Structure 1
Amino acid sequence: MNIIAIMSDVSAYFKEEPLRELHEELERQGFRIAYPKDRADLLKLIENNARLCGVIFDWDKYNLELCEEISQLNKILPIYAFANSYSTLDVTMNDLRLNVRFFEYALGTSGDIATKIRQSTDDYIDTLLPPLTKALFKYVKEEKYTFCTPGHMGGTAFEKSPAGSLFFDFFGENTMRADISISVSELGSLLDHSGPHKEAEEYIARTFNAERSYIVTNGTSTANKIVGMYSSPAGSTLLIDRNCHKSLTHLLMMSNVVPVYLRPTRNAYGILGGIPKEEFTRASIEEKVKNTPNATWPVHAVITNSTYDGLFYNTDYIKQTLDVKSIHFDSAWVPYTNFHPIYAGKSGMSGERVPGKVIYETQSTHKLLAAFSQASMIHVKGDINERTFNEAYMMHTTTSPHYGIVASTETAAAMMKGNAGKRLIYGSIDRAIRFRKEIRRLRAESDGWFFDVWQPDNIDEVACWPLNPRNEWHGFSKIDNDHMYLDPIKVTILTPGMSPMGTLEDTGIPASIVSKYLDEHGIIVEKTGPYNLLFLFSIGIDKTKALSLLRALTDFKRVYDLNLRVKNVLPSLYQEAPEFYKDVRIQDLAQGIHALVKHHNLPDLMYRAFDVLPQMVMTPHDAFQEEVRGNAHECPLDDLIGKVNANMILPYPPGVPVIMPGEMLTEESRPVLSFLQMLCEIGAHYPGFETDIHGVYRDDDGKYVVSVLNDGGA
């Protein structure tokens, strides 16, 4: 961070020469100097260059208005003003409140001015750094000798080995030296929440509008289990979104609780919608409890918000309506909701605490903010027993946390503070909406087919767009007013072949083919459905990446319309089965898979597969205990009806369980089996298009098998 911008008025020699001296002195001290052409150029430089550490300008020419514009972009950026025509008596009290220091044009003073700029720069960097990160940087610079873990000793051990030295050179010295032991007392303790670790969590809580926050170093999968272990004692009943992440279904297998499921809707694209309003009412929950063996009134509820595909709830309604002691919003995909007004009333930490309830929100800091993988946070509003909660926290937290992950979590919070952080989220939303409009423009101008976007017709308003029963674009047959909203940052591209309400057309392009083409061209899709592709416009997505995606989509249309050979269009797929694909053309492949989808009537099958839940014979916890005792065996997938499942079965995408441990498929829930069989059949017909299904395995003979409990689990 060493760039200084100078906005000078060099019309007079008495101004030009002192600035020339200052330029030379600043360069001697290691600063780089940039000269914006005008006010607009300067503001763009500040907006697009985070390494800028100060602005020097001529007060006689620019004065207060420029200071205010700079402050809108970065409130704490040091500003230096040279004034001659105006005396300091002309500076108002308002001017002095701004982060500005005044100098005079005078020869021979450049050394003193450069020293003051260096001091202000150091103070600026010190202010930017959050507490734990600052303490970690300081510790690394001290280069202490340690006789504790980790064994690589700041990278020294790596450099004693040829393989290790390659590893060291790739990751760099500071990465090694910042990987330190929990024994370093001056950094406090993540497990005890003391010292700089405590300060970091307090800093995060203030930033994310929480009363208490916890840093978690093994992802939101772990954060979810921590909240669940504290909130749901053994023998209690848990109200849980059937559209939950598998970390929460694993919680059900670990904890001896009785699950009662809240059931979301689903559309023909396989996009999971929201849980209807009625499901949150007391009457609906009473009915669910009555029909669930051994269930009592739930003590805790878990809701996925937002969904994988970017659907938010009206969380104010849920907080006020759900009659439980605590509510956990699994918000792994949306750690940015506190930093733009369009998310107000749509997140766990939005608004004030709810009397008599505890609200939790877990967020994957690494998913859509700037943090290392596994960085996550738990936010709390309401009264908890912090000592007991910390026991649950320590059950799932390593005693050797990676301080780089911890510091990156805190730094992600620091990046979101103030106007600079809000600008990052505003930029993400703006780029996503521009991209959406560009797809629609290209579709309107296209000769023949082109991709579409899953969104309402009018997206001119910057908002989370509501889903309502009057429109068909969303494809949900049952939807409530003022309940679900689409996040503009989550962009779902639609491929030809299916209407929003599930009508299959004569021809189609399954999205899996487009996904493989994009992968060949260096673009990774977040999620691929039957006729839809999900892209996340996080703060790390810039104009270049967005344009590259547009170019790749238009290139796919060109090669598809030319009907090129698979071996030329998808060489990686061809390498998987050269004999099968040697004469296949891209349109043949698309129509072949599309014909299988039509044969099985995928939209209808998905509706029916998720309309009826399998029968719960025993809790997930009890079923898993039977499996670890060895009371389970393999069963052909085709023979699953009437058997009690030992493991969860969960197809990707969307990564939501269709069968839980302890559940049994009956004739009523046979569509679940038909859905799984269809996924397996597509993979069997077309090499390279196998669906990843957790809990379904291929045996040595190539047949699909599952694990079921002995004697049907009876």
Structure 2
Amino acid sequence: MAEVNARAYNSVWQFRADAWCRLEEAAERLARASSHGKPTDQLAETVGDLVTKLAPYEHFWAFPGKTFFAQTQRQFSAGHYDRFARTVAKINRALVTESYRGGESLINVAHDHEALNTDNGQQEDISAEGNERPYFEVLVVETMSESQERALRKAVRSWRRADDEFIYELVVVGSGDEAVIAARLNVNLQAVVVRRRFAHKSSRELAALGDFVDSRVSEDLADHPPEERAQILAASISDIRPELDLYLMTEIEVEDMAGRVGHNFRRVFHAREGVLELHLSILHGVAERYRTPFFSALKQYSHRPTGVFHALPISQGKSIVNSHWIKDMVSFYGLDVFMAETSATCGGLDSLLEPTGPLREAQDLAAKAYGSRHTYFVTNGTSTANKIVGMALIAPGDIVLVDRNCHQSHHYGTMMAGAHVTYLEAYPLSKYSMYGAVPLVEIKSKLLGLRRAGKLDRVKMLMLTNCTFDGVVYDVERVMEECLAIKPDLVFLWDEAWFAFARFHPVYRTRTGMAAAKTLRERMKDPAYRERYNEYLAERAMHPEPTDEELLTQRLLPDPAQARVRVYSTQSTHKTLTSLRQGSMIHVFDQDFDQKVAETFHEAYMAHNSTSPNYQILASLDLGRRQVALEGVELVQKQIENAMQLRDAIDNHPLLSKYMHCLSTAELIPEEFRPSGIAQPLRSGLANMMAAWAADEFVLDPSRITLYIGPTGYDGDTFKRQQLMDRYGVQINKTSRNTVLFMTNIGTTRSSVAYLVEVLVKIARELDDHLADLSQTERAIHDRQVASLTADATSMPDFSGFHTSFLDLGGDGEPTPEGDVRKAFYLAYTDSFCEYLSPEEVESKIDAGQQVVSATFVTPYPPGFPVLVPGQVFSKQILNFIRFLDTPEIHGYQPHLGYRVYTDKAIEMATPTTTVAPAITNGNGSAAASKHSGKRKSKAAAD
């Protein structure tokens, strides 16, 4: 039987599940061998090993609970193998089916020694199939005896009522470090009750838990009085699980305690008076997160009889149920979908554009769940969300720094807003024909260059994708901190379309826009930071003023008296969490929102949102928020564990590893961006992952698996279409020349992971058999194909630069890289200004020293970012890059016509009277601005 090793797992849920399943199997074999008089020593050793491995973890769950687990251990130690096997089987069945969540489990008789130790082994059944009330667990932090704990459980159960909306059980720990461990491990927890008397450090041995937790909180709790310990512990738990409701019970100066530490707790109770009130408060706190105002209002509305004398014939299914020809819509979708269709904004419902009722409540609950100051629902995707934020904050002529590889909605959004765009270059990964993320030094370089040119006052926003499609995650907090040191009022837009789930994992959360914004705001409010900043200024004053080149390598600190934290995150809820397609959210943490943005945001929201939004999408966003508020931590842990198991299954398989492997952090993030030096933080334990995520400029999202398939001889698009999708129905989105990207999500199951591994093994086995039958000539052809796919890409172009017609001068007369994309875009609306050139014709003109300027966005999909934007100058590197792409879908390029470019006449007319020298493309495709600047009259002006 395969050994269960906790080190092979990255979260405890799968380790625990597998260990109990293997324990049931081993216990059954042990009982059978014992009853037949066969040797049991080896089987007993296996069982004992499994029990020993489970023991440290079972302390932190209500079921089966530490007391009952200890009694089960005694059955084994006493040699009652048959009774032990039956007990283990019942426990495992309850865990697998989750029937213990009914609340009427063995936990209720865990202290009845006679019931547990009778010779006939009769025990109360664990199942409670008739109870459908949601179940959760409450952590109680207090040092208490077993009898005290038993009395507390009895008291809590005595307050239960049949009409309670939820049921819960208690998990009791006696120390602060154990409380933090429980918060990390037990995803069933929804509330924590901190009582006055608890130790700072556990008396139990916790070394076995080191792979999953960091229990150093005991150091922070030492040498503090009980009240301060409670406050420190509450802050530690909130950092890990901010969604948990925290309660304090104390006997001393409860009124004073409420005033001093109440901001850390939902309620403060007197220990002798508040047991019933605490019980009711716990239920009420969970009910607040369970509440779905808009979904409930829509459901209630769907049950009302209405007369529709307005739009929407489909309302309540009326145009369908009376039809002779489309009744199959009802049989396919179900009647409730149509019963909830309406265009009404009253009668208990609400308006998306002017919410004042349940929709506004739903958005407020979402803001609390995601840690924002304001949250807005969007029913037509994050593409629209990005445009709303852009239009709300950018005025024509503002300068915006944009990741060139970001989603096309940013490019279109900045064009529509009239921004002058400075494109930022991500580091290239030539071997895989993809780009990573934008280094901080690149961002600082552009900001400092604009400051030299006297244009910093025009710089409004920085737009970055976090995380990238391929899973590269920024150090969000550091990027914002250093940028604010140069431009104190810079606005940040973090496109987290594929990262909405990150809020609900304690390690991921630190690198999200909303969490980093809150941390940065709190830090700059802290007097200790002001002292640190003054020391920083004093130290700098002792040295010559640093040059811009020196500033690129220094850690910059913002002035707390000037810096404003202005952060926006856009998220595709439907991509990584539960929502109907196109359900997205905008999260806002902007100190100046109410004073400077609220009105323009409202206008932008009105401009881009439909006046007839899909209520089903809005209701699904409300429900999706409820889900993550109550079980997001559990679902994201499972998502990550499934991804890690998929990685291990591929890379440890002898046949699969011959043709493919999962790219590691070291392969996707160059060493210069990883000061931690940890090459495989995803596979070397939680402590290493936390260390890398705390120190490295870029980290890799474990839920993304980039599979390198170059040795197969298949390019990414062929592998995706012909192998995965057409033959086996495996759906993926992103490919590159020699990679395919798999993403686990909260809906991924262990069975789906197993199916994918099975499919990959079939493909590899067929390839292995095919290669064995090739002739020498055919093998040579295959080897050449493999060589072309495993060599570095010949061209990974940087942004070639805007034509001078779409640039303006800096304060010193030198060109700066921002371009007027809107001017270039609308110039193409005059057909006579444009012509089509084939790739060969474009290349010929470049060779002749002429500049060819794109009139359109040219966007290969995937990956989905523009290679050319309106006003951009063609380069040979760009032509080669597009020529060798493996994807047949290139938006903005028509193979039978070629590229749409501006005529010489159009460029001449667009060129201002005073201009700058053209941007010159260097050998690797990047733009190098000419030092020459001069004045000349354009032909159009002369005419």
Tell me the TM-score normalised to structure 2 length.
0.57
CA deviation vs aligned residue, 1:223-243 (integer Å, no higher than 9, x gap): 000000011111211111112
Question: What pairs with 1:217-236 in structure 2 (closer than 5 Å)?
Answer: 217-236=379-398
1:372 matched to 2:431? The reply is no
The residue that corresponds to 1:396 in the other structure is 608
Please, what is the CA RMSD of the aligned residues? 3.9
Q: 1:75/1:186 Cα in 2 relative to 1: closer, same or farther (>3 Å)? A: closer
Paired residue for 2:514?
349
Distance (whole Å) between structure 2 residues aligned to residue 711 and residue 342 of structure 1: 56
Counterpart pick for 2:414 among 242, 247, 252: 252
Name the counterpart of 1:77.
Answer: 135
User: In the alignment, is residue 298 of structure 1 matched against residue 450 of structure 2?
Assistant: no
- Among 801, 806, 830, the alignment partner of 1:629 is 830
Quote the residue 1:451 is aligned against: 660
8 Å CA contact 2:393–2:600 kept in 1: the answer is: no
Counterpart contact for 1:218–1:374, Cα < 8 Å? yes
Confirm whether residue 189 of structure 1 aligns to residue 396 of structure 2.
no
Q: Which residue of 1 aligns with 2:767?
A: 560
Pairwise CA distance, 1:126: 9.6
Q: 1:436 to 1:448 in 2, by over 3 A?
A: closer
Task: Quote the Cα distance in structure 2 between the aligned partners of 1:538 and 1:192.
Answer: 33
Matched with 2:703 is 489
2:599 is matched with: 387
Is 1:360 the counterpart of 2:418 in the alignment?
no
Q: 1:704 aligns with which of 898, 904, 907?
A: 898
Partner AA of 1:276 in structure 2: P
Is 2:802–2:871's contact at 8 Å kept on the other side of the alignment? Answer: no
After superposition, the C-alpha distances for 1:352-388 in whole angstroms (9 at most, x for unaligned) are: 1535121000000000111111000000112313232
Q: Does 1:143 align with 2:331?
A: no
For the 8 Å contact 1:237–1:258, the answer to whether it is kept is yes
Give the Å deviation of 1:433.
0.6
Distance (Å, rounded) in 2 between the aligned partners of 1:328 and 1:187: 31
Moved more, 317-326 or 486-495: 317-326
Judging changes above 3 Å, is the alpha-carbon distance between structure 1 residues 409 and 707 closer, same or farther for their aligned structure 2 residues?
farther
In structure 2, the CA distance between the partners of 1:360 and 1:125, relative to structure 1 (3 Å rule), is: closer
Say which of 303, 323, 326 aligns to 1:161. Answer: 323
2:375–2:585 CA contact under 8 A, matched in 1: yes
Match of 1:441 in 2: 652
Q: Deviations over 1:622-674 (max 9, x none)?
A: 11211223332322233334222111111122111111111112xxx321112
Letter in 2 for 1:693: I
Is residue 473–residue 698 contact of structure 2 (8 Å, CA) maintained in 1?
A: yes
Counterpart position of 1:101? 160
Match 1:644 to one of 843, 846, 853 = 853
- Shift in Å, 1:207: 0.5
Distance 2:781 2:300 in 1: 58
- Does 2:434 correspond to 1:271? yes
Asked whether 1:432 is paired with 2:432, we answer no
Give the aligned partner of residue 494 of structure 2. 329
Q: Write the distance in 2 (CA, Å) between the matches of 1:182 and 1:590.
A: 62
Q: Secondary structure at the match of 1:529?
A: coil
Aligned to 2:524: none
Cα drift, residue 168 of structure 1 = 2.6
Following superposition, the deviation at residue 509 of structure 1 comes to 3.4
Contact 1:334 1:368 in 2 (8 A): yes
Specify which of 876, 882, 900 is matched with residue 676 of structure 1. 882
Alpha-carbon distance in 2 for matches of 1:398, 1:634: 36
The question of whether the paired residues in 1 share the 8 Å contact of 2:662 and 2:708 is answered with yes
For 2:376 and 2:716, the matched residues in 1 are separated by 39
Looking at structure 2, the residues matched to 467 and 90 of structure 1 have their Cα atoms a distance apart, in angstroms, of 48
Equivalent of 1:620 in 817, 821, 838:
821
Instruction: Quickly say closer, same or farther: Cα 1:357–1:448, change in 2 above 3 A.
Output: closer
Report whether the alignment pairs 1:512 with 2:717.
Answer: yes
1:533 aligns with 2:740: yes
Whole-Å separation in 2 of the counterparts to 1:538 and 1:328: 24
Aligned equivalents of 1:713, 1:260: Cα separation in 2 = 21
- Which position in structure 2 is the counterpart of 1:695? 892
Task: Indicate which of 35, 42, 56 corresponds to 2:94.
Answer: 42
Does structure 2 retain, via aligned residues, the 8 Å contact 1:633–1:710?
no
How far residue 457 of structure 1 moved from its aligned partner, in angstroms, is 7.8
Residue among 462, 465, 469 paired with 1:308: 469
Contact 1:617 1:644 in 2 (8 A): no
Match of 2:795 in 1: 605
Q: CA deviation at 1:612?
A: 4.5
How many residue pairs match? The answer is 591
Number of the residue aligned with 1:23: none
Q: 1:654 to 1:469 in 2, by over 3 A?
A: farther
| C-alpha displacement of 1:153 | 2.4
Q: Secondary structure at the match of 2:870?
A: coil
Q: Secondary structure at the match of 2:463?
A: strand
8 Å CA contact 1:126, 1:134 repeated in 2: no
Structure 2: how far apart are the matches of 1:350 and 1:586?
56
After the TM superposition, which of the residue ranges 448-457 and 379-388 deviates more from structure 2? 448-457
Distance change (3 Å), C-alpha of 1:693 and 1:589: farther
The SS at the match of 1:663 is: coil
Once superposed, which parts of structure 1, at least 4 consecutive aligned residues long, lie more than 4 Å away? 88-91, 93-100, 116-127, 288-292, 456-459, 465-474, 585-598, 611-616
SS at match of 1:299: strand
Would you say the 8 A contact 1:617–1:664 is kept in 2? no
1:603 to partner: Cα distance: 1.3
**Shift in alpha-carbon separation, 1:484–1:127, aligned structure 2, 3 A:** closer
Contact in 1 for aligned 2:655/2:761 (Cα 8 Å): no
**Is there any run of 5+ residues in structure 2 with no aligned partner, and where?**
1-62, 65-86, 113-125, 138-146, 169-282, 522-562, 682-693, 807-819, 909-943
Residue 697 (structure 1) shift? 0.7
Provide the residue aligned with 1:106 in structure 2. Answer: none
Matches of 2:151 and 2:679 in 1, distance apart?
58
> Structure 1 residues 466, 429: CA separation in 2 closer, same or farther (over 3 Å shift)?
farther
Q: More helix by proportion, 1 or 2?
A: 2
In structure 2, the CA distance between the partners of 1:457 and 1:312, relative to structure 1 (3 Å rule), is closer
Instruction: Report the Cα offset of residue 75 of structure 1.
Output: 11
For residue 39 of structure 1, report the CA deviation from its aligned partner: 3.4
Give the aligned partner of residue 57 of structure 1: 105
Q: Secondary structure at the match of 1:350?
A: helix
> What SS does the aligned partner of 2:105 have?
strand
For 2:307 and 2:166, how far apart are their aligned partners in 1?
30
1:132 aligns with 2:294: yes
Give the SS at the match of 1:390.
helix
Aligned mates of 1:489, 1:653 — CA distance in 2: 19
Residue of structure 2 in register with 1:214 after alignment: 376
**Structure 2 CA distance, aligned partners of 1:644 and 1:187?**
51
Matches of 2:434 and 2:315 in 1, distance apart? Answer: 48
* Alignment correspondent of 2:447: 285
Change (3 A) 1:299 1:98: farther
Q: Once the 2 structures are TM-superposed, how far is the Cα of residue 120 of structure 1 from its aligned partner?
A: 8.1
Matches of 1:589 and 1:284, distance apart in 2 = 46
CA distance in 2 between partners of 1:711 and 1:473 (Å):
55
What SS does the corresponding residue of 1:563 show, helix, strand or coil?
A: helix
SS of residue in 1 equivalent to 2:401: strand
Q: CA deviation at 1:76?
A: 5.4
User: C-alpha distance in 2, partners of 1:188/1:627?
Assistant: 42
List alignment gaps of at least 5 residues for structure 1: 1-6, 9-34, 80-87, 103-112, 460-464, 475-479, 498-506, 567-582, 680-688
Shift, 1:275, TM fit = 1.0
Residue 182 of structure 1 deviates from its aligned partner by 3.7
Residue 603 of structure 2 corresponds to residue 545 of structure 1: no
C-alpha change, 1:562 and 1:311, in structure 2 (3 Å) is same
Answering whether residue 471 of structure 2 is matched by residue 262 of structure 1, we say no
Specify which of 163, 167, 180 is matched with residue 342 of structure 2. 180
Larger Rg: 2
Q: Corresponding residue for 2:729?
A: 522
* Cα distance in 2 for residues equivalent to 1:194 and 1:237: 35
- Partner amino acid, structure 2, of 1:621: R
Change (3 A) 1:258 1:156: same
